[in-house]
Amino acid sequence: MSPRVLSAATAAHPWPAMVWRADGLDRAPLRTWPSGFAVLDAELPGGGWPGHGLAEILSPPGSGLEWRLLGPTLAQLARAGQATLLVGPPQPPHAPGLAALGLPARQLVWLQADTLAERLWCTEQLLKSRPGGPVLAWLPQVRPAQLRRLQVLAAGCDTPVFVCRPAHAAREASAAPLRVCAGLSPGWALAVDILKRKGPPLARTLHLQAVPAGLQAVLPPRLTDAVPPPVTDARHVVRAVPEPAWH
């Protein structure tokens, strides 16, 4: 191809703007939704939670931190008329508490699935049906091969798909393009580590002010406005061996 023809082809197809470089944060995923935390959005590819792929949320078992982390996004989607689909939550959904997050009971669909096989089957059927709202599936014992299958199915969904797992799963490999671990931090904050993303590793912990919805009206300012500790390397979770962003 001559230089003139190559120049014309480049003008017609701006490839440099479309190609993601592994040493930079992917700023052009297919679709994202803001997390509600500016500090977190600045570090997520595209500036929010992704569609067309799994987002893995790791947290201490029984802590319920996934609700505090995802609550702003789920509430935003609920206001847009989208129902949140829950697969196998560890506890029955608490309607008043979720309503305080902005998730009315009429926009929640709870699929009670007790065994891993039931949860996987329900999640797969939802993803195959191209759901019109976000999916949260609690899969504490899922295996890498099963996650790969879910990732393939989630790639065709134009909606956020979250897989909730215990924090110790950070030691295991995962096909999810995005892996986030949430823990507690002083001042009602969340300490969040991005363990995997499409971009360079993030070797620091993010501190997000996330007062539980039911406490915002009763806590005094001195407790809600506590200054979080300085940004440091994560210490609340055993880090996984760094994975390639394209895994």
pLDDT at 242: 37
Residue appearing with tokens 């091969």 = 145
pLDDT at 100: 87
151: which residues sit within 8 A by CB, 6+ positions away?
53, 54, 175, 176, 177
* Token output for 22: 């592994």
Interval 187-196: pLDDT, tens: 778 999 999 9
Q: Residue 194 phi/psi, 5° resolution? A: -95, 105
pLDDT at 215: 56
* Token output for 126: 């939802």
- 60 vs 217, higher pLDDT: 60
Write down the domain spans for the chain.
Answer: 24-224
Q: How far apart are CA 147 and CA 153, in angstroms?
A: 10
Helix, strand, coil abundance in the chain, percent, nearest 5: 35, 20, 50
pLDDT at 218: 54
Q: How far apart are CA 75 and CA 73, in angstroms?
A: 5
Q: How far apart are CA 40 and CA 204, in angstroms?
A: 12
Helix (H, G, I), strand (E, B) or coil at 189: strand
- 12 vs 140, higher pLDDT: 140
- 192 vs 220, higher pLDDT: 192
* Burial status of residue 173 (CB atoms within 10 A of its CB: 0-12, 13-18, 19 or more): middle
Q: How far apart are CA 71 and CA 40, in angstroms?
A: 14
pLDDT at 187: 73
Within the chain, strands assigned E span 32-33, 49-50, 54-59, 84-87, 108-111, 135-138, 161-166, 178-185, 189-196, 206-209
26: which residues sit within 8 A by CB, 6+ positions away?
20, 45, 46, 197, 198, 199
- 210 vs 90, higher pLDDT: 90
Task: Give the mean model confidence (pLDDT) for residues 121-141.
Answer: 95
The alpha carbons of the chain give a radius of gyration, in whole angstroms, of 19
Q: How far apart are CA 190 and CA 21, in angstroms?
A: 30
Residue appearing with tokens 């679709």 = 31
- 211 vs 127, higher pLDDT: 127
Task: Give the mean model confidence (pLDDT) for residues 117-146.
Answer: 95
Task: Give the mean model confidence (pLDDT) for residues 9-34.
Answer: 58
pLDDT at 94: 87
Interval 35-83: pLDDT, tens: 999 999 999 999 999 999 999 999 999 899 999 999 999 999 999 999 9
Q: Give the end-to-end CA distance of the chain in Å, rounded to a whole number.
A: 34
Which range among 74-78, 114-118, 146-150, 213-217 shows the weakest confidence by mean pLDDT? 213-217
Q: How far apart are CA 209 and CA 190, in angstroms?
A: 6
Q: According to CATH, what is the number of the domain 24-224?
A: 3.40.50.300
Tell whether pTM > 0.85: no
Q: What proportion of the chain, given as a percentage, has pLDDT over 90? A: 62
Q: How far apart are CA 77 and CA 83, in angstroms?
A: 8
Task: Give the mean model confidence (pLDDT) for residues 213-236.
Answer: 48
